[in-house]
Amino acid sequence: MDKKILVTGGAGYIGSHAVKVFLEKGYSVVVFDNLSRGYREAVKTLERYGDVILEEGDLRDREQVQALFRKHEIDSVLHFAALCSVDESMRDPAQYFENNVLGTLHLLEAMRVFQVRDIIFSSTCAVYGEAEYLPVDEKHKTEPENPYGESKLMAERTIQWYAKLFGFRYVIFRYFNVCGASSDGEIGDSKKPSLLLVQNVVRGAMGIEPFRLTCQKVDTPDGTPIRDYVDVEDLAEAHLLGYKYINEDKKSIILNLGNGKGWSVKEILSAVENVFRVQIPISEGERRNGEYSKVYADTSKVRSVLSWTGKRTINESVDSLKRWYQKNPSGYEE
């Protein structure tokens, strides 16, 4: 039996782009997803790129996870499955700790039992909390300011303990803000509205959905939060490099994935308006909780270790989103 790459959350926005990259390189992939926030149609679309199987299930169900590993001979794991809304985590922290932490534990236990030792984990810059200095490197303190960030940090630490105790090897990627869609316009962010700024601004520029300003006023030059934006295809390509890095018997490592530049919300609005040559009508939405004022990445470590850098500009990310939403204004058909 050929060994497969297991991608948890592979029917979701970021996970599906990583699946596409691995399929295009000839790997066989098993997607494990409960489809609560992922899409069956995404996996159907991915079938045109290579050998992919969807196994519907939930990481919170220990027996389902064990059964998955019994059914498939797994080579390595890419772990994307998680809830990822800062605001939602402030309102309902219990589901974040259950899903993001307990789900990770069940996955690691199945890996231990079935002797799968390599994991690439999708973490977040939210583990850092409010930046004490900029750009933020991987040595920055980790003091999350919301349950989402805390749940990811707890998952990171659980993975690190399994590495110490059972010989696991890991690459932990701490993402900054993600944007864009596949260059061919075939897969993208299907949430309505998206949790991500650039997607929602593009939808506003295209008249698909009104753009609502939901950020708190913060202490930045224009009063809106400053974030680092990284294209989803660049992000996906980093996971292939991380997989190859682990397979060369390299040591476990934590790496930032960002572009090393901060954009405020208003600067993103202006950039999208310039691409579309429109003025986007803005309405006030319910303000999000748990946000901090500014963060952007020091990417020197990932450049050195993986020779990775974000290649795609904000304008290129906006163009890819335009292609995605032109084909799929309401997301996947389901």
Closest C-alpha among 110, 76, 80 to residue 248: 76
The DSSP bridge partners found for residue 178 are: 230
Spot the catalytic one: 27, 39, 128, 148. Answer: 148
- Which secondary structure element, helix H or strand E, spans residue 179, and what is its range? strand 177-179
Active site residue 148: yes
Backbone angles phi, psi at 255, to 5 degrees: -135, 135
Residue 42: both structure tokens together:
């995404």
The DSSP bridge partners found for residue 321 are: none
What is the separation of C-alpha 80 from the centre of its chain, rounded to a whole number of angstroms? 7
Residue 292: both structure tokens together:
């901090």
DSSP helix, strand, coil percent of the chain (3-state; round to 5): 40, 20, 40
Cβ atoms of 40 and 333 closer than 8 Å? no
Q: How far apart are CA 217 and CA 208, in angstroms?
A: 26
Q: If DSSP codes are grouped into helix, strand and coil, which group holds residue 62?
A: helix
Amino acid at 178: V
First-last CA distance in the chain: 33
Catalytic residue ranges:
148
